[in-house]
Amino acid sequence: MAYSKLYYIQVNDWVLKTAEKMKNANRQDSDSWNTFWEKTYFDLGGKNKFSARKGCPKKAAYTLWYLGRIKNTGRNKIDISINEVAEKISENGAYAVLGQELLENNPNLNKVSLFEEIQKEFKKRTTENPAESDQGGPKLTWILFDEGLLQ
């Protein structure tokens, strides 16, 4: 896949290896995810501390994993409202869940169109103003969907 990398790291490896670390440690909290996410980035050859710590894709990946939306992670799917995702987990997580829903209904959306649709849907469902730019979470969601890793 031409667009399967984020910060020069294969997204599917980054996400699945982080999920494996969570499972092996019997953890499901976001602090552990953050630690394992950053460690996995460097394990896979990443070099930039900023890229490892970037919150938007990290929170999007955590939310998709936590809610059981990523295949092959052993997590059961949890359905909660977008408001609950935004309030209890993160706005970036809400963008990821919305992105998955939008892609399931229109798999031909490109990354730019996907983010525009996420913005509209987030505003409609939460009445809050969405982020003005894609800081990595929607792109990560698009890559996972494109690689067939979302369920």
Transcribe 35-70 into DSSP letters: HHHHHHHHHTT---HHHHH-HHHHHHHHHHHHTT-B
* N-terminal to C-terminal alpha carbon distance within the chain: 19
* pTM for the model: 0.96
pLDDT at 1: 47
10-residue stretch averages of pLDDT, the chain, 151 residues long: 81 97 98 98 97 96 98 96 97 97 96 95 96 93 96 95
DSSP type of residue 7: T
In sequence order, the β-bridge partners of residue 150 are 70
pLDDT at 58: 97
pLDDT at 3: 61
In sequence order, the β-bridge partners of residue 9 are 6
- In a 10 Å sphere around its CB, with 0-12 CB exposed, 13-18 middle and 19+ buried, how is residue 95 labelled? buried
